[in-house]
Structure 1
Amino acid sequence: MAEQVRHQDQGRDLRPSTRVLTWPNLISAVRLLLVPVFGVLIASGQDGWAVVVLAVSGASDWLDGVLARRLGQVTRLGQLLDPAADRLFIAVTLVGLVWRGVVPLWLLVVILAREVVLGVMLLALGRRGYPPPAVHLAGKAGTFALLYAFPLLLLASWDSWLGTVAEVVGWAFALWGVGLYWLAGALYLVQARALLREART
């Protein structure tokens, strides 16, 4: 049997519950609903509103984690909704930016390759009865960096000094985000390998 993941916050142990109706889960659900809204905005060229939606998503991603720990509302559903919303936003944003010609195709391939690798890992863990690994700080930092990089890369298309600055800072966030994203992926694989080896023995 997989051991239940413990979350520590200010000296307290927070065990994930089976509750559904919590404030963090509600925020994550709203973020999921914003994904198709963002997709329509970026496809129709409404970059200003698309940037606003991305900013709201990034802020709410931070907020739901804080509320979950402060209110003692860490739930199993939240542990699924939060990363799902992150991954969907990143995937939809990248596809839209590649389609618009804002970012090169290799950036999309590098990030989606990481998701495919971790998807196989999660299937292997699930077959042994293990839950997904706890979210690592490097993974959250990488997600934050990417979510902040995308609106800046959208602003880079502006023909002004602001566009130039946004392009430089946006690519800095994007490259750091990709590096942290893959670092977290490697750490998850190490954890999964240890669990699967334990299951075999």
Structure 2
Amino acid sequence: MTDSHAPRTPDSGEPPPQTGTDAAPSERIATIPNALSALRLLLVPVFCWLLLGPHADAWAFAVLFVSGASDWADGKLARLLNQSSKIGALLDPAADRLYMVVIPICFGLREILPWWIIGVLVGRDLLLLASGPLLKSRGLTALPTVYVGKAATFSLMSAFPFLLLGELDSIIGDIFHPIGWAFLIWGLYMYVWSFVVYWVQTVLVLTRMPAVGKSGR
């Protein structure tokens, strides 16, 4: 799960502080959580080839399973081993976003998902990227992750392997196909809702914090 080190936006009228969590992340690179995040990134082209090349759906499912397990493990280990790092705070969400773009597109090419759903998923992330320059103008790099966003990512990342299993022409496919769609529909709703929440927070930051280089009144 993504271990955010971004500044927090309080619910009160106070502008968010420009420091992150209580313990500042280190400059270390060679850590176990970073290695897991790097592994997830390296598995992206492997997944694409397995799904679109030989149509090795079972192996593609295995890649998604390993990626999902490492996503949970890197955040957990970062806290347990005190190995939070600045590069880890970038690698982990970058891997999440890459999977959230690549998997739907691959599913579209295989006709597992309709393209309008893929457009919503990918378009949401692209529009969210547009908030980056606005936040940077206030001295921030990102907003803190919200629970609904984490829940949406979890639901969608659960839906994808279930949908892949649903493609199997067997009793397994019959069982997991509706389960995958249930996770997908719920995750899609939360994904859009988290987009609204992030943009509301962005507007609050723009209205309550002075631009970089300007003193607040």
Match for residue 34 of structure 1? 43
Number of corresponding residues: 195
Q: C-alpha offsets along residues 105-156 of structure 1, whole Å, 9 cap, x if unaligned?
A: 0111011111122100112112332121122222222112111111111121
Distance (Å, rounded) in 2 between the aligned partners of 1:192 and 1:91: 22
* Percent of residue pairs bearing the same amino acid type: 43
Match for residue 5 of structure 1? 20
Distance (Å, rounded) in 2 between the aligned partners of 1:18 and 1:128: 24
Match for residue 121 of structure 1? 131
* TM-score (normalizing by structure 2): 0.84
Match for residue 79 of structure 2? 69
Question: Which residue among 78, 102, 105 is the counterpart of 1:92?
Answer: 102
- In the alignment, residue 82 of structure 1 is paired with which amino acid? D
Q: C-alpha offsets along residues 66-118 of structure 1, whole Å, 9 cap, x if unaligned?
A: 11112222222112111110111121111111111111101110111111221
**Structure 1 gap ranges (5+):** 7-12
Q: C-alpha offsets along residues 46-80 of structure 1, whole Å, 9 cap, x if unaligned?
A: 10100000000001100011111122222221121
**Structure 2 gap ranges (5+):** 1-15, 211-215
Structure 1 segments of 4+ aligned residues over 4 angstroms from their partners: none
CA drift of 1:175 comes to: 1.1
**1:107 pairs with 2:117:** yes
* TM-score (normalizing by structure 1): 0.90
Match for residue 184 of structure 2? 174
Match for residue 196 of structure 1? 206
Indicate how the Cα distance of structure 1 residues 135 and 75 shifts in structure 2: closer, same or farther if over 3 A, else same. farther
CA contact (8 A) 1:95 1:108 kept: yes
Distance (Å, rounded) in 1 between the aligned partners of 2:45 and 2:17: 35
Distance (Å, rounded) in 1 between the aligned partners of 2:61 and 2:92: 20
RMSD in angstroms over aligned alpha carbons? 1.7
Max Rg structure: 2
Match for residue 150 of structure 1? 160
CA contact (8 A) 2:100 2:122 kept: no
